[in-house]
Amino acid sequence: MMKLRITLVCVMVLLVATAAPGEVPVAKSTAGDRTGVDVTVYNSNLGLVKETRRVDIPAGEGELRFMDVASRINPVTVHIHSLNSPELFAVLEQNYEYDLMNEKKLLDKYVGKAIKIIDWNRYQDRKETVEAELLSNNQGQVYRIGGEIYLGHPGIKVLPELPENLIAKPTLTWLYQNGGTAPHVLEVSYLTGGISWKADYVLIVNEDDTATDISAWVTIDNKSGATYNDAVLQLVAGKVNRAERRPQARDALMKGMVMESAAQPQFKEKAFYEYHIYDLQRKTTIKDRQTKQISLFEATSVGIKKEFLVRGTSAHFTNRARGGKNRNPVAVYITFRNAKDNSLGMPLPEGIMRLYKRDAGGSQQFIGEDRIEHTPKNEEVSLKTGEAFDIVAERRQQDFKKLSTKLYETEWEITLKNRKEEDITVGVVEPLFGNWQVIETSHPYTKVDAFTVRFDVPVPKDETVTVTYRLRVGI
């Protein structure tokens, strides 16, 4: 027994004496340790990821490798703390490892070392393995084999082991101090690029252009470099200010379509700070390099108004026009109020509204699209769908006088031709400036604001109506 005790003591002394200086225990955590993940997606190619993991961490000082994070993570935004024992766990140092392994980096680590090369000898129909010393891996490999130098060599390169400090995925590493032995429930949050969302709207206009059904979809594009399984999803609508980043030598922040729909609204909207948040009322999986669409809401029988508008420019009134009549495009607009009494009344996120209508044969046709900004409730939405084919607007300057260096008087004639099969009304919108005065006019006008007048001109089918007016503009 005495000899056995002496032997054990000697072995323990030998182990202590041969331990690598500065060596610390290494713990690893992967996505398999997750107990939950929340993803908040902004309009501006930005996501906030918050996940919890149950991790066994050795006591004392050690290294924790936190793997399966987004490859476009912003490391300076990382925050970590223990939910169950915050007083026992502290982070002393943080590193973001993005030196990911590939063939070149692996071979770079073996320059000056021996590797194996396996090739197929097609003449003898068998594998051949050679021992080689890798001399260089700069724009091609250089080997020493059997005392000779080979500039490249066919076959599969076989390395004895993975070199240190190379990882397969982006990894956060922490030097920690742990005062206990029980597992920690860690909450880690960070901002990442490469993930964004937008709203897309489909409007089905009825036969007489008086109402539309609206289907709103959320489109999430995830190129952050990570998959978020069973995530709690929130979308933030609004313009979040971000500090401008200065250029750096290296930026460490470096499709399939999935559609999900439901009869009931899947998102619950609420105001937050100066933005609006849309909470998905169930969990969802957002895969890396995936575009996912989720139904936002549906509204039926939304009242709309179709308008034909001719818009002038303020330069018309201080310059002499050249030539005779000039053709002006007649724009077609669909407008509606985002109000509760109009089957809406909810914040509409920025996005593209695409309009469709059934033709005489019952086929649904695309009639135009326009982008809307973030639109609060009780505001008007105006969509330009295109330009009218069967309505012609021509503008001609009838008179031009420069009364002084800062005073002009002009007379205009605007001819409107309706080649459609129904009566219409065309709005003529004229932007003005300075001190202006309408002297004469053939049709009544409305003062829209301090520098805009509008003529709403009825034009019967297959007839021509001419609007004339004279005004004075002072700069």
Residue 122: per-residue pLDDT: 77
pLDDT tens per residue, the chain (475 residues)? Answer: 444 443 433 433 333 333 344 567 889 999 999 999 999 999 888 999 999 999 999 999 999 999 899 989 998 999 999 999 999 999 999 988 766 667 887 888 889 999 999 988 777 778 889 999 999 998 899 999 998 999 988 889 999 887 766 666 788 999 999 999 999 999 999 999 999 999 999 999 999 999 999 999 999 999 999 999 999 999 998 878 877 655 554 443 334 445 554 445 688 888 887 788 889 999 999 999 999 999 999 999 999 999 999 999 888 888 888 777 889 999 999 999 999 999 999 899 999 999 999 998 999 999 999 999 999 999 999 999 999 999 999 999 999 999 998 999 999 999 999 999 999 999 999 999 899 999 999 999 999 999 999 999 999 999 999 999 999 999 8
- If asked whether residues 311 and 174 sit together in one domain, one would say no
Q: Are residues 310 and 392 in the same domain?
A: yes
Nearest residue to 325 (alpha-carbon basis) of 460, 391, 416, 403: 416
Q: Which residues pair with 234 in a beta bridge?
A: 40, 279
Residue type, 213: D
SS3 6: helix
134 domain-assigned? yes
Identify whether residues 188 and 310 lie together within a single domain.
no
Residue 189's pLDDT is 96
Contact 347, 237 (CB under 8 A): yes
Mark whether 144 and 182 lie in a shared domain.
no
pLDDT of the residue at 178: 95
CA distances from 462 to 208, 327, 386, 389, 456 (A): 19, 18, 21, 13, 18
Taking the C-alpha atoms of residue 230 and residue 382, their distance in angstroms, rounded to an integer, is: 38
SS3 395: strand
pLDDT on residue 301: 96
Give the CATH number, domain containing residue 173: 2.60.40
Query: What pTM was estimated for this model as a whole?
Result: 0.72
pLDDT at 98: 67
Residue 93 lies in a domain: yes
What integer pLDDT is reported at residue 123 of this predicted model? 76
Residues 40 and 177 in one domain: yes
In a domain, 451, yes or no: yes
Residues 319 and 432 in one domain: yes
Q: Answer yes or no: do 187 and 89 share one domain.
A: yes
Q: Does 113 fall in a domain?
A: yes
pLDDT score at 244: 62
- On whether residue 4 sits in a domain, the answer given is no
Residue 266 lies in a domain: no
Look at residue 424 and tell me if it is in a domain: yes
pLDDT at 269: 84
Same structural domain, 76 and 29: yes
Task: Give pLDDT, residue 237.
Answer: 87
With the C-alpha atoms ordered 200, 205, 210, 211, is the resulting torsion angle positive or negative?
Answer: negative
Number of structural domains, the chain?
3
Q: How much is the pLDDT for 475?
A: 84
**Distance separating alpha carbons of residues 451 and 196, to the nearest angstrom:** 39
- Do 151 and 34 have their domain in common? no
315 plus 422 within the same structural domain: yes
CA dist 240 → 104, 113, 221, 276, 379 (Å): 40, 52, 18, 11, 22
Classify residue 22 by its DSSP letter: T
pLDDT value at position 99?
A: 61
**Which residue is associated with the tokens 């990821």?**
49
Would you state the pLDDT for residue 107? 86
For residue 181, give its domain range. Answer: 24-97+169-192
Residues 322 and 433 in one domain: yes
33: three-class secondary structure by DSSP = helix
State whether 409 and 469 are in the same domain. Answer: yes
Residue by residue, DSSP assigns 111-174 as TTSEEEEEEEETTTTEEEEEEEEEEE-SSS-EEEETTEEEE---SEEE-SSPPTT-BSS-EEEE
Whether 212 is covered by a domain: the verdict is no
Residue whose C-alpha is closest to residue 217's, from 121, 335, 82, 352:
352
